[in-house]
Amino acid sequence: MKNNRYSSALKNFMTQAISKSVLFLINVCCFIIFVGELDAQTQLALEQSEMEERSLEARTATQEPDFFVSGTSAQGIGFYFGVGFRSVKLQVAETIIISDSDGTANGIGFNLGYYWNEQVVEYERQVSIVEHSESFTYQEESGRELEVIQNNLWYIQYPKIKSDFYLHYGTGLQFTKTRFAGSISNDAYEDEIALGIETGVSYFVTSNLLIYYRFSLGQQLPFFTTSASTSFLKQSQLHTIYLNFYYPL
């Protein structure tokens, strides 16, 4: 009887031990599976986040040059300067027309501008040496070649057309000095003041390089003249292509 009791107790103990061991192993397996799934979800979330960041970087548009980004003081203000090559047409001594389209031989242009909020205040200096086909006379002096120095002050608007292209238009004053080339004395210059208008387009090649086309017309007005005689430079028309460097502030 005692042996049967011990035998029965041992069987019950073994059954309970096996049951608890199986339950423990099932719990361990469930824990391992849960941790594995959690780790896989975490890894997948990280990979998706990295893919979204890469996709966002790929879709990000190329930033526009500082010169054309308005609305912030850091990017909407700056200086530009450069040199220009021109086609020149002058009306002198009332009826004489002189044209010269050789942009590398008829002088040079220089400009210096301050930009803010799609506006510009610009100083421009144009030095032109042009030759007429025939000799002509002005105030007892004669010659074929003229030397014209124009110091221009412009106020310009800069609306955007599209992308990196911009329109510009403005008005200003032209302070001109004109004489026959070859004169030694500065007293030979005829000082005059003209009203100027300008327009054109500009294209920003890089963040610091601007290609700038300008057509300007200067018209001498009677009430602007500094002498009682007939004006020497009646009208000027210039087509200028500038290569400008822009420095943001």
Question: Mean pLDDT over residues 85-103, rounded?
Answer: 84
Tokens encoding 136: 């002509």
**What does the pLDDT look like over 153-181, one tens digit per residue?**
999 999 988 888 899 999 999 999 998 88
Alpha-carbon gap, residue 217 to 239, rounded angstroms: 9
Please give the structure tokens belonging to residue 243: 């290569």
Q: Is the four-CA dihedral 244, 245, 248, 249 of positive or negative sign?
A: negative
d(CA 25, CA 36): 16
pLDDT at 212 over 80: yes
Mean per-residue pLDDT over the chain, rounded:
78
Decide which of 104 and 120 is more confident: 120
Query: What are the pLDDT digits (tens) for 75-85?
Result: 478 999 999 99
Residues 139-158, mean pLDDT to the nearest whole number: 90
176: exposed, middle or buried (Cβ count in 10 Å: 0-12, 13-18, 19+) = buried
What per-residue confidence (pLDDT) applies to 55?
Answer: 60
